[in-house]
Amino acid sequence: MLSKKILDIFETITVTTGRIVAAHIDKKYLTGKVDFASIYAKSLEEFEEFSQEIAANGIVVDPQPKGSYYWLTEPLKTSIGAIRRCRVRKFDMTHPERGYNDFEVVDYKSFKLRYMNDPHFSLVDNHNGIEMLEFRSPEYDVRVYFPNTRF
C-alpha cells in the first residue's frame, strides 16, 4: 500500500488537473478517462524514496533514466478516476511543477485544432510516435497532457 504522503501528492495533482480541465477544456473533447499520473520529485532523495515505494507496489514497465514508468498492483483511487500507470520523475529545472496527469481525448485531431493556438498549450513529440498537447500555466503547480493515443 502506498504511503499517505505519496497518496496525498497524487491526489493534490489530480484535484488540480481536474480543476484545470473543468475550467479550460470543453468536455465534448474528453472521454472521461485519466490513465496516468506523475510526480516531479523535488530532490534526488525524494526521487529515490518515492521510486522505491512505488516499485514495492507495482512493476516497472518502462525503465527510463529520468524515472521509470510503473504499473501499480492496486490502482490509485483519485477524485478523477482510478489510475494504474504512474511515474516519479527526477528533479530538473525544466519541470518545477509537482506533477501531471494524462487525459484521453475523443478525437485528437479536432482537439489539437481547437487548442493548439491557445497560449497555455504547446505541442510535445516524444519521438516514439506519441504526440500530445501540454497545458501549462504559471497559475498552477501541475501540467496536463492530452496524448494522441487512446488508453
Spell out the domains of the chain, with CATH numbers in brackets.
4-147 (3.10.180.10)
Give the phi and the psi of residue 16 in degrees, each rounded to 5. Answer: -65, -45
Q: Residues 10, 78: contact at Cβ < 8 Å?
A: yes
Q: What is the pLDDT of residue 150?
A: 76
Residue 64's contacts (CB-CB under 8 Å, 6 or more residues apart) are: none
DSSP 3-state of 91: coil
Q: What is the pLDDT of residue 107?
A: 96
pLDDT for residue 149 is more than 70: yes
Instruction: Summarize pLDDT for 88-139 with one digit per residue, the tens.
Output: 999 989 999 999 999 999 999 999 999 999 999 999 987 677 899 999 999 9
Distance from the first to the final alpha carbon of the chain: 24
